[in-house]
Amino acid sequence: MTDKNYEIISEDIRTDSDKIIELKNCNEQFFIMEGRRKKYHILTYGCQMNEHDSEKIAGMLTSVGYEETDDEKQADLVIFNTCLIRENAELRVFGKLGEVKGLKRNNPHMLVAVCGCMMQRQEIREKVLKKFSFVDIIFGTNTIHELPMLIYDAEINKRKSVGIVDDTKSIYENMPKRRKFKHKALVNITYGCDNFCTYCVVPYVRGREKSREPDDIIREIKALAEDGCKEVTLLGQNVNSYGRNLDKKVTFADLLYQINKIDGIERIRFMTSHPKDLTDDLITAIKECGKVCRHVHLPVQAGSNEVLRRMNRKYTKEHYLSLVEKLRKDLPDIAITTDIIVGFPGETEEDFLETIDMVKKVRFDSAFTFLYSMREGTAAAKMENQIPDDVKHKRFDRLLEVLYPIVLEKNKECLGKVFPVLVETVENNRLTGRTEHFRLVHFKGSRDLVGEIVNVRITKVKTFHMEGEILE
């Protein structure tokens, strides 16, 4: 798909349809009769995109009179927001659906909805409808705004309701959102993906890449700041290609400069950067924008040029290493994290050793590591020479043996130093937050500090977290 012939339409969602108004009235009536609001419970699987979609689903439900419950047994509506990036993500959803079947037997009025990436695939929808016939509502990643209408059909018309749109040219603005945290927020900047890495289902389930209008993004972040939000994470499958299909020429770097000016916002993060599109302009923007965190998540996936070529990643090991060098030269304290896949079809021992070499050369601050999982419909699923499970597992373990000591070494470099930490959660006077470099820190302190940025001296480090003490 070229940029030009793909016209994106930004539109506001409708909240005034007859069905929505009637559903609201019914829920009000329920409240008057029963003395409580109907409750929903959302189970979210997968990435931050899905986390944020769940915040939109929660917003839509709140706007028609539902309230949230942590306890699925108490719920009148249970929603599964699903992921199919790897086979085990899919298996977890099916396992949990089996459990919920029992709940529904005890409470026949409970509605069960399944949505998210899995539902964008016809064969999986059919499987759910057949094997889990108690499911009342199915919707997808492009139809979240239709949820009230679908509930209406399931509840009032007693119909199984399915709302799926394969791909859309529309971006729905002003969807109500019920955000999980007050002090930090996820903000979409692009939807979909055009990269078609050969192992990945995302382009098939999230559609073509679409960028939101910069004004819409800025408006949303200003409103968040007014509401007390201090940190935004800009979301896109490949944030570096932001703006490619907008009429107005605006790049991701331009967008960062604009967001950096918004009063009240103190930290700007973004996920995910694709190495093929990381420009010098972006590195300069990270350097010049004081609020942009010194952290890039830059998935490398593999170290062998042959594997990278067959993955369709469109960069080489040498290019990746040159980006790391440039980043560290311009921003000496930048944290670089990554994603690595082990056991891609045809990966030889030599290819795998190139991945190990990459890890040793870059010395990542942290990494998500995955066993390659064959996904139906992707190009890699058809490749010959799929790697046997035992070989994959052995390589995976060998990778961690190299990676984890490096991560621990990197954390050790933080010992004794002081970092500003945005406090995110509290449990029994133990606060948890993250440094600018995305390191997780636990320390003692008062619960009033949640949402504040405090200075913490690091006293102890492990591989996955650090401990510290607040400076008075």
Segment interacting with ligand SAH (CB under 6 A) among 142-150, 195-203, 385-393, 433-441: 195-203
Distance from C-alpha of 346 to C-alpha of 392, rounded to nearest angstrom: 11
Only one residue has tokens 């971006």, namely: 171
50 binds, among ligand SAH, ligand SF4, ligand F3S, none (CB under 5 to 8 A by kind): ligand F3S
202 touches ligand F3S by CB under 6 A: yes
Chain length of the chain: 472
3-class DSSP assignment, residue 339:
strand
Scanning residues 117 to 156, which ones bind ligand SAH (CB under 6 A)? none
b/e 270-286 (16+ beta carbons within 10 angstroms → b): bbbbbbebbeeebbebb
The correct pick among 50, 304, 378, 435 for binding ligand F3S (CB under 6 A) is: 50
339 binds, among ligand SAH, ligand F3S, ligand SF4, none (CB under 5 to 8 A by kind): ligand SAH
199 touches ligand SAH by CB under 6 A: yes
Strands 440-444 and 466-470: parallel
Nearest to 299 by CA among 381, 371, 222, 366: 366
Distance from C-alpha of 450 to C-alpha of 426, rounded to nearest angstrom: 7
The correct pick among 23, 49, 358, 403 for binding ligand F3S (CB under 6 A) is: 49
Q: Contact letters (x/-) for ligand SAH, 390-429, by CB under 6 A? A: ----------------------------------------
203 binds, among ligand F3S, ligand SAH, ligand SF4, none (CB under 5 to 8 A by kind): ligand SF4
Q: Contact letters (x/-) for ligand SAH, 227-256, by CB under 6 A? A: ----------xx------------------
Instruction: Tell the smallest beta-carbon distance from residue 120 to ligand F3S (Å).
Output: 8
119 touches ligand F3S by CB under 6 A: no
The secondary element (H helix, E strand) that includes residue 308 is helix 305-310
Between 49 and 60, name the residue whose CB sits nearer to ligand F3S.
Answer: 49
Instruction: Tell the smallest beta-carbon distance from residue 62 to ligand F3S (Å).
Output: 22
DSSP assignment of 78-94 = EEEEE--SSHHHHHHHH
Scanning residues 83 to 102, which ones bind ligand F3S (CB under 6 A)? 83-85
Residues 6+ apart with CB under 8 A from 310: 198, 344, 345, 346, 380, 383
Scanning residues 320 to 339, which ones bind ligand SAH (CB under 6 A)? 339
Q: Determine contact, residues 153/67, Cβ cutoff 8 Å.
A: no
Binding site for ligand SF4 (CB under 6 A): 193, 195-197, 200, 202-203, 237-238, 274
Assess whether the previous peptide bond of 272 is cis (omega < 30° from 0). Answer: yes
Q: Determine contact, residues 379/345, Cβ cutoff 8 Å.
A: no
Strands 190-191 and 210-211: antiparallel
The correct pick among 190, 211, 373, 435 for binding ligand SAH (CB under 6 A) is: 373
Between 166 and 409, name the residue whose CB sits nearer to ligand SF4.
Answer: 166
Between 48 and 432, name the residue whose CB sits nearer to ligand F3S.
Answer: 48
152: number of Cβ within 10 Å: 22
Report CA 13 to chain centroid distance, whole Å.
Answer: 22
Scanning residues 205 to 224, which ones bind ligand F3S (CB under 6 A)? 205-206
Nearest to 141 by CA among 82, 181, 193, 199: 82
Total chain residues near ligand SAH (CB under 6 A): 17
Name the β-bridge partners of 235: 188, 271
The correct pick among 110, 283, 341, 399 for binding ligand SAH (CB under 6 A) is: 341
Strands 335-342 and 366-371: parallel
299 touches ligand SAH by CB under 6 A: yes
235 touches ligand F3S by CB under 6 A: no
3-class DSSP assignment, residue 396:
helix
Tell me the two tokens of residue 264. Answer: 């009240």
Which DSSP letter does residue 69 get?
A: -
The correct pick among 82, 301, 337, 435 for binding ligand SAH (CB under 6 A) is: 301
Between 84 and 441, name the residue whose CB sits nearer to ligand F3S.
Answer: 84
Q: Which residues bind ligand SAH (CB under 6 A)?
A: 85-86, 199-200, 202, 237-238, 272, 274, 299, 301, 339, 341, 370, 372-373, 375
Q: Which residues bind ligand F3S (CB under 6 A)?
A: 46-47, 49-50, 83-85, 117, 201-202, 205-206
